[in-house]
Amino acid sequence: MPEAGRQRLFFALWPGAGVRRRVSELARRHTPPRGRRVAESKLHLTLAFLGEADDELRCCAEAAAGVVGGEAFTLELDRIGHFRRARVLWLGAETAPPALAGLHARLIARLARDCGRPVETRRFRPHVTLARKVGRARPRSLDEPVAWPVTDFVLVASRLTPEGARYRIVRRWKLDGGQAPAVLPRGRLWDNRGL
């Protein structure tokens, strides 16, 4: 249980309703019977995981994200894969756009420099988790990729409950050329159910 004033935070790409519906349908079609599908309202692509964070780290992370910048882009989700050890079925891109790799690299570097967060050493493998507890799954390419127009990125607070994680979007940053709302006013919290 986190201490008062602390919360689990991560940066993510959060899909709009149309993309979420398409990804959720793919999860329904490709998850083996014993797998546990991720709820449609929780589908996202993690950019950087901060873990337990106090108010000081949250403020630092928000400031760092505010100067990261980047261009809006389209992410073509065209491949279903499986992380065997983690037992996760995922949807990702055969080739991630340079704008996504750049956004991730700038965000990680800025968090390390400004907030003292360690730089991620694992290779960035952008994906949306479709299902958990999947023992086996055959990787495959999709005949009809999901085109995800990425116009912003978000900071998300995660709270673990007996029913699973609950996510709340804390703040949003628009990418250049995107049509998403700019940064949310301080103190205003969005629940992902309304997106």
Element (H, E) at 60: helix 55-68
Please, what are the domains in the chain? 7-194 (3.90.1140.10)
The average pLDDT across 15-25 equals: 97
Rounded distance, CA 184 to CA 170, Å? 8
User: Residue 162: its pLDDT value, please?
Assistant: 81
User: Residue 122: its pLDDT value, please?
Assistant: 78
Which residues belong to the active site?
Answer: 44, 127
User: Residue 179: its pLDDT value, please?
Assistant: 54
Q: E-strand spans in the chain?
A: 7-13, 36-37, 45-53, 73-83, 88-92, 127-132, 140-150, 152-161, 164-174, 190-191
Q: Is 131 left (phi over 0), alpha (psi -120 to 50) or beta?
A: beta
Residue 187 scores a pLDDT above 90: no
Query: Structure pTM?
Result: 0.85
pLDDT digits (tens, 9 = 90+) for 54-100: 999 999 999 999 999 899 999 999 999 999 999 999 999 999 899 99
Determine phi and psi for 25, rounding to 5 degrees. -65, -40
pLDDT digits (tens, 9 = 90+) for 91-146: 999 998 999 999 999 999 999 999 998 767 778 999 999 999 999 888 999 999 99
pLDDT digits (tens, 9 = 90+) for 163-184: 778 999 999 999 997 554 444 4
User: Residue 189: its pLDDT value, please?
Assistant: 36
Residue 38 scores a pLDDT above 90: yes
